[in-house]
Structure 1
Amino acid sequence: MARTHSGNMQASSAHADCGAAASLIMIITSLLDTDLYKFTMMQVVLHHFPAANVEYRFRCRTPNVDLVPYVDEIRSEIQKLCRLRFAEPELEYLRKMRFIKGDFIDFLALFHLNEKYISVTPSPKGNGEIDIEIKGPWLHTILFEIPVLAIVNEVYFRNTQQHPQYEEGRERLRHKIELLGAKPEFADCKIADYGTRRRFSKRWHEEVILTLKEDLGEQFTGTSNVYYAMKHNLTPLGTMAHEYLQACQALGPRLRDSQIYGFEMWAKEYRGDLGIALSDVYGMQAFLRDFDMYFCKLFDGARHDSGDPFEWGERLLKHYEDNRCDTRTKTMIFSDALDIPKVLRLYERFRGRCRLAFGVGTNLTNDLGYQPLQIVIKMVRCNGQPVAKLSDSPGKNMCDDKAYLAYLRQVFGIEQPTEEEIAGQ
């Protein structure tokens, strides 16, 4: 399939080539510069868990990265973030979403992030790591994660790569677009941008989005970033993240039923809308045990975020068939460390058997030839109780209470971790 590259990248290069002057630019300029699922989860928190208190912790999974020299700069950007308020046009944009309710918009009109709930310090280990701790009411801290991760990324890269290789990034992006259009049978293979949290910079992020919109057309389905969705008339995408189901470990009536409780509360709030369930907080086996016929028929599909995606897809499709669901009406969303060749392999495996969607993150928004930072901010406590995820990928688990992890594994019938998993934790 032929593509017409209109020069959009070159046209937008002026705002991308920021060089050393980038340090003068405020990184986050809108509270909408985050992922949609932060708002969808936040509305559930407002309506069902307004008194919940939580704690989040930061981790950089990339070895030998020294972030300590940038602590003051990160703090300064967070101070600026905490001065932001939602503008009226932003609230009106959110108000038009069918699943956003009026009282939530009224709350957001008064909302701001409070600096007292977040701290950034060098790690006492003295190894170049930094500690970011977010602690306070869930309702007032939930919007920190994505912009803070974007801040850490941009501060790091604008200091270490003062003359970025934008042309290399543009060439790589062109190649990805060409791969998606290489065969006529790929015409219905569609991708979305999920790359806010690990982007090289916000300006590069916007250039990538504009290029995908122009060159991919209908193959580009939208972005998880609400700000760029509003600014560039794209579809904002997202439902729930791990922290929601993790918090339900402390908020539900019984730990073993916490995943079921989370899905039920989600359905109570959205009444069939936003029907994509996250499958890997306790691993696929535990997910399938809880995702019974009721949930199979109630939810539109599920999202993959750890483990072997091909195995996950086959197991999910068989599960739908066993529960008398037409798999062709169900959606599988893949979002774990995707690149375009993997997207195409998954598309070839599952096309025609179900509806497919692909959320590509770091490989779109931070692929200029430098090693991206593998950084995360995860909830580790809710209402004073440890919470955790037990994903299907070694090293993705994050919990500072080993006794609780062992108990969680026992409750959900999950095998004890390997030495590799323990090292990753």
Structure 2
Amino acid sequence: MLDIATRVYNHKWKIDPIVRSLIDTDFYKLLMCQSVFRNRPNTHVKFSLINRSTDVPLAELIDEGELREQLDHIRSLSLSRGESTWLRGNMFYGKRQMFRSDFMEWFENLRLPPYHLERKGDQYELTFEGKWHEVMLWEIPALAVLMELRSRAVINEMGRFELQVLYARAMTRVWEKIERLREVRDLSIADFGTRRRHGFLWQDWCVQAMIEGLGSRFTGTSNCLIAMRREVEAIGTNAHELPMVYSALAENDADLAQAPYDVLSDWHDEHEGNLRILLPDTYGSQGFLDRAPDWLAGWTGIRIDSGDPATGAESAIQWWQSRGEDPSSKRVIFSDGLDVGKMEDLQAQFAGRVQISFGWGTLLTNDFRDLVPNDRLAPFSLVCKAVSANGKPTVKLSDNPEKAMGPAEEIARYKRVFKVGVQESIDVIV
């Protein structure tokens, strides 16, 4: 097994670049990219880094030159022959040739487009502009670079024995969590921890621990490179990015109200009935379900990614029942700020009522809380979002107003169009 502490102590970025491959990314980014490539190829989008944890001064912790080196390295990457063969020939969700030949030919020749980096006070402004299907692939590697450079800034001050103890404690913490999860009946869990991981080597170690500790109850990882190397399933469907951009492109309020369903119509056509998991919370889950066309009730399940997860699942159950569907045949995927205690509670509450899955993210791949003085390795909330499409601002409301984003006047308009009332604020953990 890899000695992570020694590797970290000895590492140089050219030996251990933070992002090793264009498929060192989440599977859903590639699925969405193919859909955008087909349906919205001429849309111009801007992505921007957003540090919700303003108490973490990234520009003071991370050297700008080192950040540029890492970003420039990513721009040099292209698909290897083995990676292309895996994407073209592997079976995903029971389907071969998930990725079409025209998309793969484009992807095999892709180099990521330029970035814009500027220091603003104690934070960095990092943006990407261009064709949607090109710039969207910056999101995950950009987050991974910032998160790991912050980790390295702290770790570089530590000696070899300190690092051995740090990783021994972190490994023990992960394994103790896995031991608790072994006791959860009918567990189904995947790694969703790429975007805010401590580092690539650590995420890979966590996946291996889950494979050994949980066996078939570990269903796979969202990280394509790790899925390929460890021969596990690549897990993912779609994200808020799609309805945010489609909605920004709407010409009027009526088109805006319809935009989230247009996304899913295109998605259904793209995947011929596969990957039918709803993500309803972009502009409020309850309103989305209330206005949803009947054909969406026949989809496989729903992902709960903001707000109170139990409330979200209860709403989904009631919705399925009201549409004549059997909730026990549907899947609810919980994916927001999960840790073991919350997963234990949700499994106990909904066992037998729905099929339950967990997408375990940051508190799997970056739980270094309280392991160094002043908690300087604690995970923090960093996102990279589409902020405009064809020059028009994007908006996200969420089921938690703490996650809302967009200009104030546009947020007010979206709340009116989507009939979003008073929402309960919940602390954003990660």
Q: State if a TM-score over 0.5 links the two structures.
A: yes
Aligned partner of 1:238 in structure 2 is 236
The verdict on how the C-alpha distance between 1:395 and 1:357 changes in structure 2, with shifts beyond 3 A counting, is: same
| Secondary structure of 1:142 counterpart | helix
Aligned partner of 2:345 in structure 1 is 345
Q: Does 1:383 align with 2:390?
A: yes
Aligned partner of 2:373 in structure 1 is none
Aligned partner of 2:315 in structure 1 is 315
Q: Percentage identity across aligned positions? A: 33
Contact 2:193 2:362 (C-alpha < 8 Å) held by counterparts: yes
CA–CA separation in structure 1 for the residues paired with 2:396 and 2:54: 22
Match of 1:217 among 198, 215, 218: 215
| Secondary structure of 1:18 counterpart | helix
Post-superposition shift, 1:16? 6.5
CA–CA separation in structure 1 for the residues paired with 2:32 and 2:169: 37
Aligned partner of 1:178 in structure 2 is 179
Contact 2:400 2:423 (C-alpha < 8 Å) held by counterparts: no
The verdict on how the C-alpha distance between 1:341 and 1:348 changes in structure 2, with shifts beyond 3 A counting, is: same
- CA-to-partner distance for each residue in 1:71-108, whole Å, 9 max, x for gaps? 22111101000000011111111112432212111111
- CA-to-partner distance for each residue in 1:280-313, whole Å, 9 max, x for gaps? 101112221233321011x211101000000110
Aligned partner of 2:146 in structure 1 is 152
Aligned partner of 1:275 in structure 2 is 276
CA–CA separation in structure 1 for the residues paired with 2:151 and 2:307: 29
Gaps of 5+ in 1: 1-10
Aligned partner of 1:256 in structure 2 is 257
Post-superposition shift, 1:178? 1.0
| Secondary structure of 1:333 counterpart | strand
Across the aligned residues of Structure 1 and Structure 2, the Cα RMSD in angstroms comes to 1.9
Amino acid across the alignment from 1:388: V
Aligned partner of 2:8 in structure 1 is 18
Amino acid across the alignment from 2:112: L
The verdict on how the C-alpha distance between 1:169 and 1:16 changes in structure 2, with shifts beyond 3 A counting, is: farther
Greater shift after overlay, 345-354 or 13-22?
A: 13-22
Question: Residues 358-373 of structure 1: matches in 2 within 5 Å?
Answer: 358-369=358-369, 370-373=377-380
Gaps of 5+ in 2: 370-376
Q: Does 1:49 align with 2:55?
A: no
CA–CA separation in structure 1 for the residues paired with 2:218 and 2:226: 14
| Secondary structure of 2:244 counterpart | helix
Amino acid across the alignment from 2:116: S
Contact 1:223 1:235 (C-alpha < 8 Å) held by counterparts: yes
Post-superposition shift, 1:62? 1.7
Contact 2:405 2:411 (C-alpha < 8 Å) held by counterparts: no
CA–CA separation in structure 1 for the residues paired with 2:202 and 2:221: 14
CA–CA separation in structure 1 for the residues paired with 2:13 and 2:22: 20
CA–CA separation in structure 1 for the residues paired with 2:421 and 2:343: 30
Match of 2:70 among 77, 97, 108: 77
CA–CA separation in structure 2 for the residues paired with 1:362 and 1:22: 25
Aligned partner of 1:119 in structure 2 is 116
TM-score normalised by length of structure 2: 0.90
Contact 1:22 1:158 (C-alpha < 8 Å) held by counterparts: no
Post-superposition shift, 1:13? 2.5
Post-superposition shift, 1:169? 0.7
- CA-to-partner distance for each residue in 1:2-35, whole Å, 9 max, x for gaps? xxxxxxxxx2325764126354531111100000
Runs of 4+ residues deviating >6 angstroms: none
- CA-to-partner distance for each residue in 1:311-338, whole Å, 9 max, x for gaps? 1101100100110011121111000000
